[in-house]
């Protein structure tokens, strides 16, 4: 069974029925994550050698995008899991890799910090040696799946080496981790994105992911491509979800006294046409970015920088159109459009933000160094 065939019954039987509750209650979609694990989809990008499906970024983007049509909160949880898995697959212990591959372990990224905000590549949290162990201290500002995941791919200042950062594997149940506040947000309400404070959290030296001081290289070379692509996939998926709901509404809603539907109005059709074109353009850029990464093209980094910003900003436009053409009906929560409208707002302010990416893209095309 391929990955999309494995996903289909989960969408119909578990995810779609719980999507409204996930948003309304701000509840982590635990049942969906467990179903994804049992179907092998949490381990989809894990190597076949450790029991995973051995699939890549293209397939991960397809799964994230399809889930986002119904529940972007769940899609973002999975996005962060695949990003963390990419690091663990390269640098982590085999026992953890096998647990992920078997669908028994959910991971996530813990990069953004209160003191460096959206500049996730510049942690201010520290790592210091204490006998045979390492002590981590930090104020992480936003961690998706905080205290719901089993582990964090954690960034800190280097232990001893030169460089911007070092990455660590941190057990989510480690002593010294605390949650200073809960999340009751506008959108993506079910992804358990909260701050995490670390005070003297002990990890083993062997829990380092990559070389000391080389975390920045892993962030840029491994994490950024995965995150940009999967964040864009989430945005494209929620665009498709909003557009399909809008099309369904205007096709079925009638003006009985005129004997016509809303879809008979040229203005409505024109708005929907714009939304379809914008969604397809974002999908085309997403496909080209995946192709560029796979081929190692010269424009790969430019595409990686472009795709998240383009998809995130386009999602704002498409969901706004969906709200506009559906009128008052779009404000009803059971229709699902206003939820996707709210969820779409997250991508543009999620690090690296659209504004930061615009600056990077401008530097790239004018020949300036990014950092």
Task: Give the C-alpha separation, 168 to 172, whole Å.
Answer: 12
Q: Return the pLDDT at 1.
A: 78
Among 134, 55, 132, which residue's Cα sits nearest to residue 89? 55
CA-to-CA separations, 233 to 29, 46, 50, 52, 66, in angstroms, rounded: 19, 19, 26, 22, 9
Say whether pLDDT at 258 is over 70: no
Q: For 34-59, what is the mean pLDDT?
A: 98
Q: State whether 297 and 198 are in the same domain.
A: no
21 falls within a domain: yes
Task: Give the C-alpha separation, 1 to 271, whole Å.
Answer: 38
127 falls within a domain: yes
Condensed to tens digits (0 to 9), the pLDDT of residues 1-25 reads 799 999 999 999 999 999 999 999 9
Task: Out of 88, 106, 124, pick the residue that ends a domain.
Answer: 106
Q: State whether 202 and 224 are in the same domain.
A: no
Q: State whether 122 and 61 are in the same domain.
A: no
Say whether pLDDT at 119 is over 90: no
Q: For 305-321, what is the mean pLDDT?
A: 98
Domain count, the chain: 3
- For residue 8, the domain's CATH number is 1.10.540.10
Q: State whether 299 and 204 are in the same domain.
A: no
297 falls within a domain: yes
Q: State whether 75 and 154 are in the same domain.
A: no
370 falls within a domain: no
Condensed to tens digits (0 to 9), the pLDDT of residues 72-91 reads 999 999 999 999 999 999 99
Confidence at 256, pLDDT banded by 50, 70, 90: low
Q: State whether 191 and 309 are in the same domain.
A: no
Confidence at 118, pLDDT banded by 50, 70, 90: confident
Per-residue H/E/C for the chain: CCHHHHHHHHHHHHHHHHHHHHHHHCCCCHHHHHHHHHCCCCCCCCCHHHCCCCCCHHHHHHHHHHHHCCCHHHHHHHHHHHHHHHHHHHHCCHHHHHHHHCCCCCEEEECCECCCECCCCCCCCEEEEECCEEEEEEEEEEECCCCCCCEEEEEECCCCCCCCCEEEEEECCCCCEECCCCCCCCCCCCCCCEEEEEEEEEEEHHHECCCCCCHHHHHHHHHHHHHHHHHHHHHHHHHHHHHHHHHHHHHHCEECCCCEEHHHCHHHHHHHHHHHHHHHHHHHHHHHHHHHHHHCCCCHHHHHHHHHHHHHHHHHHHHHHHHHHHHHHHHCHHHCHHHHHHHCCCHHHCCCCHHHHHHHHHHHHCCCCCC
Q: For 330-354, what is the mean pLDDT?
A: 95
Q: Return the pLDDT at 181.
A: 83
Q: State whether 39 and 92 are in the same domain.
A: yes
Say whether pLDDT at 136 is over 90: yes
The β-bridge relationship of strands 260-261 and 254-255 is antiparallel
Say whether pLDDT at 255 is over 60: no
Among 128, 125, 126, 163, which residue's Cα sits nearest to residue 141? 125
371 falls within a domain: no
The β-bridge relationship of strands 254-255 and 177-178 is unpaired
Burial class (CB in 10 A: 0-12, 13-18, 19+), 270: exposed
Q: State whether 282 and 353 are in the same domain.
A: yes
Confidence at 261, pLDDT banded by 50, 70, 90: confident
| Percent residues over pLDDT 90 in the chain | 90
Task: Out of 89, 106, 123, pick the residue that ends a domain.
Answer: 106
280 falls within a domain: yes
Tell me the backbone φ, ψ of residue 232, rounded to 5 degrees: -65, -40
281 falls within a domain: yes
Say whether pLDDT at 287 is over 90: yes
Q: State whether 164 and 117 are in the same domain.
A: yes
Q: State whether 187 and 325 are in the same domain.
A: no
Q: For 335-351, what is the mean pLDDT?
A: 96
Q: Return the pLDDT at 51.
A: 97
Q: Return the pLDDT at 116.
A: 85
Condensed to tens digits (0 to 9), the pLDDT of residues 158-180 reads 999 999 999 999 999 999 999 99
The range of the structural domain enclosing residue 221 comes to: 216-365
Q: Return the pLDDT at 14.
A: 97
**1-5, 95-99, 206-210, 251-255, range with the lowest pLDDT:** 251-255
Q: Return the pLDDT at 371.
A: 86
Tell me the backbone φ, ψ of residue 198, rounded to 5 degrees: -115, 125
Q: State whether 221 and 346 are in the same domain.
A: yes
Condensed to tens digits (0 to 9), the pLDDT of residues 180-210 reads 988 899 999 999 999 999 999 999 999 999 9
Q: Return the pLDDT at 152.
A: 98
- For residue 286, the domain's CATH number is 1.20.140.10
| Percent residues over pLDDT 70 in the chain | 98
Reading the block at residue 33, the tokens are 């994550």
For residue 352, whether the previous peptide bond is cis, meaning omega lies within 30 degrees of 0, is yes
- For residue 131, the domain's CATH number is 2.40.110.10
Q: Return the pLDDT at 134.
A: 97
Confidence at 350, pLDDT banded by 50, 70, 90: very high
336 falls within a domain: yes
Task: Out of 179, 213, 247, pick the residue that ends a domain.
Answer: 213
Q: Return the pLDDT at 254.
A: 63
Q: State whether 188 and 144 are in the same domain.
A: yes
């Amino acid at each position: 069974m391929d990955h999309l065939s494995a996903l289909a019954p989960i969408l119909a039987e578990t995810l779609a029925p719980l999507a409204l509750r996930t948003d309304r209650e701000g509840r982590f979609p635990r049942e969906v994550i467990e179903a994804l694990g049992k179907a092998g989809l949490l381990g989809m990008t894990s190597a076949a050698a450790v029991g995973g499906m051995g699939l890549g970024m293209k397939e991960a983007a397809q799964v994230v995008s399809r889930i986002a049509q119904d529940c972007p909160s769940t899609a973002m949880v999975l996005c962060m899991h695949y990003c963390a898995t990419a690091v663990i697959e390269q640098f982590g212990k085999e026992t953890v890799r096998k647990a992920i591959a078997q669908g028994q372990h959910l991971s996530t990224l813990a990069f953004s910090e209160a003191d460096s905000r959206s500049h996730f590549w510049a942690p201010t949290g520290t790592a210091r040696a204490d006998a045979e162990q390492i002590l981590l201290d930090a104020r992480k500002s936003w961690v998706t799946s905080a205290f719901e995941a089993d582990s964090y791919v954690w960034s800190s200042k280097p232990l001893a080496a030169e460089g911007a950062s070092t990455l660590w594997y941190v057990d989510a149940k480690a002593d010294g981790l605390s949650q200073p506040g809960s999340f009751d947000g506008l959108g993506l309400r079910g992804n358990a994105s909260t701050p995490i404070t670390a005070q003297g959290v002990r990890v083993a030296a062997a829990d380092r992911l990559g070389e000391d001081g080389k975390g920045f290289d892993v962030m840029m070379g491994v994490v950024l491509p995965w995150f940009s692509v999967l964040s864009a996939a989430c945005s494209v998926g929620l665009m498709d979800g909003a557009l399909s709901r809008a099309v369904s509404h205007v096709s079925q809603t009638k003006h009985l006294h005129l004997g016509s539907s809303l879809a008979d109005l040229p203005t409505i059709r024109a708005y929907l046409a714009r939304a379809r074109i914008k969604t397809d353009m974002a999908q085309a850029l997403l496909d080209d970015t995946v192709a560029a990464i796979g081929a190692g093209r010269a424009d790969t980094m430019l595409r990686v920088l472009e795709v998240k910003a383009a998809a995130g900003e386009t999602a704002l436009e498409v969901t706004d159109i969906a709200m506009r053409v559906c009128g008052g009906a779009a404000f009803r929560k059971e229709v699902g459009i206003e939820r996707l409208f709210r969820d779409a707002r997250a991508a543009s302010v999620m690090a690296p933000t659209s504004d930061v990416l615009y600056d990077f893209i401008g530097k790239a095309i004018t020949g300036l160094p990014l950092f």
